[in-house]
Homo-oligomer: A and B are copies of this chain.
Amino acid sequence: MTKSVLILPGDGIGPEITAEAVKILNKLVETDGLDISMEEDLVGGAAYDVHGVPLADATMEKAHQADAVLLGAVGGYKWESLDISVRPEKGLLRLRKEMGLFANLRPAVLYPQLASASTLKPEIVAGLDILIVRELTGGIYFGQPRGIRVLDNGERQGYNTYVYSESEVKRIAHVAFQAAMKRNKKLTSVDKANVLEVTEMWREVVEEVAKEYPEVEVKHMYVDNAAMQLVLNPKQFDVMVTGNMFGDILSDEASMLTGSIGMLASASLDENNKGMYEPSHGSAPDIAGQNKANPLATILSAAMMLRYSLGREDLAVKIEEAISKVLDQGLRTGDIWSEGCTQVTCSEMGDAVVAAL
């Protein structure tokens, strides 16, 4: 049966990089019997400019109907002075929340071909392979009450609520333990249990869930220490699990360690492995429209989509191998370029992957 994919290019470099991923998917439709239909729609600033909201209800409905969503990136200077409730980011947050995509998987992997792109010493990062499991539909991103109020003395006060219930922690912990079981059976749960009650409970629940996975070696780490250990000795980590906000910070730090954030994909999954797929990087408005961006993270996100949501592991592998070939050929976009390699544009990179399929 034909599976449906909703393509949401979004803002900044979003349209350029998703166009390359679509190119690859179209090629697979042609040559490998991939049976999908694709439809494109607006999200983020692009949606705000047309509809006055960063995600139209009709688009939300399409996302519910689709078997998977492939997203570029949202946000940019242009919309920074808007109210939080209509910012581009709100479109993304609404998709995550209403689709129930509580499990965000963010691999931080060093590509052997790109070893020299990292700002860390080669011996510190060689072979790095961390999977960050970030809770994505709870925590302070969605906690109520929130807002800005005026106090009796006339000054403003901003407030947000960092909140987790036991069941929210449990289900993300299970995802993380299951991922660890398929990898090196080491899990680090990150919290601030020495100061914040919400994370004190987080730690207790992770400890309970741990009893069901006796083979997994579990460690608890304070978030400040985790931020430090990622720099000091990142290879100590296998799977890391944490809440929405800490996950936002640590996954960006971890992906930058690899020097190849332009290569890192992510999947956001619901309880039935329906998902949304996006590159780990942002919308990079400073280079938007210049055909300079690295489309590989988005193409790899499309590969994850084939694997998790479309039942085509074979094609996921095919894409990953094609990318490996292209890197072996020495083709590089600017962000991962180094001495002796050939610099290519965004669309040239997409063409090269198609050719290598």
| Residues in chain A within 8 A of chain B (CB atoms) | 75, 80, 84, 87, 89, 93, 119-121, 124, 140-141, 143, 146-148, 151, 155-167, 192-202, 223-225, 227-228, 230-233, 245-246, 248-253, 255-257, 261, 282
Contact = CB atoms under 8 A, between A and B. Distances in A.
Contact of A160 (B161, B165, B257): B161
Given A87-B194, A223-B249, A227-B253, A159 B163 contact: yes
9 contacts: A140-B162, A141-B195, A155-B165, A158-B165, A158-B199, A158-B202, A224-B252, A225-B252, A225-B282
A205 B141 CA distance: 21
Given A121-B119, A165-B151, A197 B228 contact: no
| Identical chains bound together, number | 2
B163 A93 contact: no
Contacts of A227: 227, 249-250, 252-253, 256
A92 to B, nearest CB: 10
A193 B198 CA distance: 22
Contacts of A166: 155-157
Name, among A89, A164, A197, A250, the residue most crowded by chain B CB atoms within 10 Å (CB to CB). Answer: A197
A194 B164 contact: no
Closest 9 CB pairs of A and B: A158-B198, A158-B201, A227-B253, A224-B252, A228-B256, A155-B166, A157-B165, A231-B256, A159-B163
A202 B194 CA distance: 25
Contact of A93 (B121, B195, B261): B195
B155 A167 contact: yes
A165, A233, A282: residue with the most chain B Cβ atoms closer than 10 Å: A165
Contacts of A251: 224
Given A84-B197, A227-B252, 8 more contacts: A89-B194, A156-B165, A157-B163, A157-B165, A159-B197, A227-B227, A227-B250, A232-B256
A218 to B, nearest CB: 14
A231 B257 contact: yes
A162 B164 contact: no
Contacts of A80: 193-194
Contacts of A250: 227
Contacts of A224: 248-249, 251-252
A122 B166 CA distance: 45
A304 to B, nearest CB: 20
A201 B156 contact: yes
Contact of A195 (B89, B231, B252): B89
B119 A232 contact: yes
B119 A194 contact: no
A168 to B, nearest CB: 9
Contacts of A233: 119
A198 B119 contact: no
B161 A161 contact: yes
Contacts of A201: 148, 156-158
A286 to B, nearest CB: 12
A180 B164 CA distance: 38
A75 B192 CA distance: 13
Contacts of A193: 80, 84
